[in-house]
């Protein structure tokens, strides 16, 4: 399943199919869909995702610095604004329903999987260019959108009494979908302007590694709950 047929993102998905599937079909995701995920696993994930979003905001600030044109700076700043003004707001509001406030999440130690993933993204952007950075970012930004839509459309996803139904609604909703579509479109523009076809093998490696780190992020939640 893909929401962005014909895009570089779609091509990367297809060529990293095993790593992509391990991420979007992870047991953590499946357990959210049927409501069987232990609450301890989800709470740990929520705290780490808060920290993750802070680092991803830093990555989009780096994307603005790496930009070559005013249009690219504007696109990076708009995504940064969406992250800190839309997704972070959604996340904090959602976490409040689980008894987690920003102060508690700020004080919690950062998990190894969160550090590994976010530092990989930032290091990729620091040593490469804006295209490298956006390829490292896209599995999260567009991938969550795809997971949300897939679970929302799946009749097997439990609705009634599922404590994670609101998570599915949040990431399948049009507000987040617009963010994901914009990220995929920007990736195509960056590829066109920076010789993405000639660099494709390297881009595929970055994308696959980011998918593996996404899967590790889900697994971190399960490990925290001892499952």
Confidence of residue 42 (pLDDT cuts 50, 70, 90): very high
- Position 45 scores a pLDDT of 96
Domains assigned to the chain:
38-224 (1.20.910.10)
Q: What is the token pair recorded at 200?
A: 């494709």
CA distance 158 to 163: 9
Greater confidence (1 vs 81) lies with 81
Query: Of 23-32, 56-65, 89-98, 207-216, where does mean pLDDT reach its minimum?
Result: 89-98
Q: Hey, what are 168's tokens? A: 């599915």
Virtual torsion, Cα 52, 53, 54, 57, nearest 10 deg: 130
pLDDT in tens, 81-104: 878 887 788 889 889 999 999 999
- 172-185 mean pLDDT: 88
Is the model's pLDDT at 220 over the cut of 70? yes
- In the structure, how many helices (H) and strands (E) does the chain have? 12, 0
State the DSSP code for 121: H
Of 13-17, 40-44, 88-92, 168-172, minimum mean pLDDT range: 88-92
How many CB atoms sit inside 10 A of residue 151's CB?
A: 24
pLDDT value at 174 more than 50:
yes
Residue 179 pLDDT: 82
pLDDT at position 4: 61
User: What does the DSSP assignment read for 8-71?
Assistant: HHHHHHHHTHHHHHHHHT-HHHHHHHHT-S-HHHHHHHHHHHHHHHHHHHHHHHHHHHH-SSHH
Mean predicted lDDT score pLDDT of the chain: 93
Please give the residue that has the higher pLDDT: either 90 or 149.
149
Mean pLDDT value of segment 124-148? 95
pLDDT of residue 131: 97
pLDDT of residue 215: 98
Give the predicted TM-score (pTM) of the model: 0.92
Question: pLDDT grade, residue 3 (50/70/90)?
Answer: low
Q: How far, in Å, CA of 48 to CA of 129, rounded?
A: 27
Identify whether the C-beta of residue 62 lies closer than 8 Å to the C-beta of residue 133: yes
CB-CB neighbours of 103 under 10 Å: 7
């Amino acid at each position: 399943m893909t929401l962005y047929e014909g895009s570089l993102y779609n091509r990367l998905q297809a060529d990293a199919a095993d790593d992509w599937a391990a991420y979007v079909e992870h047991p953590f995701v499946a357990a959210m869909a049927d409501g069987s995920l232990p609450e301890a696993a989800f709470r740990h994930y929520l705290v780490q995702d808060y920290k993750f979003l802070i680092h991803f905001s830093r990555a989009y600030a780096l994307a603005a610095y790496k930009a070559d044109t005013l249009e690219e700076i504007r696109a990076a700043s708009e995504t940064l604004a969406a992250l800190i003004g839309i997704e972070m707001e959604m996340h904090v509001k959602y976490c409040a329903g689980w008894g987690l406030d920003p102060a508690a999440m700020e004080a919690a130690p950062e998990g190894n999987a969160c550090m590994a993933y976010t530092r990989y993204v930032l290091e990729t952007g620091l040593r490469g260019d804006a295209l490298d950075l956006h390829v490292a970012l896209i599995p999260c930004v567009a991938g969550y959108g795809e997971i949300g839509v897939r679970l929302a459309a799946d009749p097997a996803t439990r609705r009634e009494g599922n404590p994670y139904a609101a998570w599915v609604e949040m990431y399948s909703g049009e507000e987040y979908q617009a963010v994901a579509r914009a990220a995929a479109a920007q990736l195509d523009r960056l590829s066109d302007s920076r010789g993405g076809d000639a660099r494709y093998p390297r881009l595929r490696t970055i994308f696959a590694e980011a998918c593996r780190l996404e899967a590790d992020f889900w697994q971190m939640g399960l490990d925290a709950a001892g499952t």
